[in-house]
Amino acid sequence: MNTFILGTLGEHTPTVPASLAVIFELITGWSETPSKTELGFICAAAIAHSVEHQNKPKYKYSVSMKQYGRECIEWLLGAGVSIPDIYSYGSLMLALSMDKLPTQKGAEEKADFLPQQDGESLNT
């Protein structure tokens, strides 16, 4: 995995977030054709979710990922991380994170998880 130089925060080896719900929220925010500002928020959130640092903003499920990303932008810019690096590092983490989500093929294989009895309908 690549390492990120995050200004005064130092060098970090990022990891893909463990939470599929976090990844889902990051990826859906990324795929909604966000404005450049919103894309920056999503990229900053992806970076924060991918590195360990004691002072990074804490993610709360009660706020949107873009709102969390706004806090992350403050944190990263305040540490001297450039805007191009935020877009670059964040986009890389988004692309790597997307690979953890189930694909259509995987969803089709798991879709038939309810057994049906002969002649019995699940429609009520």
pLDDT at 17: 92
For the segment 41-66, the average pLDDT, to the nearest whole number, is 93
pLDDT at 32: 81
Q: Which of 21, 24, 23, 2 is nearest to 13 (CA)?
A: 2
pTM (predicted TM-score): 0.80
Q: Is the pLDDT of residue 113 over 90?
A: no
Instruction: Reduce the DSSP state of residue 11 to 3 states and report it.
Output: strand
Instruction: Reduce the DSSP state of residue 119 to 3 states and report it.
Output: coil
| Mean pLDDT estimate for the chain | 85
pLDDT at 2: 81
Residues with Cβ within 8 Å of 24's Cβ and at least 6 positions away in sequence, in order, are 101
pLDDT tens for each residue of 14-50: 999 999 999 999 999 888 888 999 999 999 999 999 9
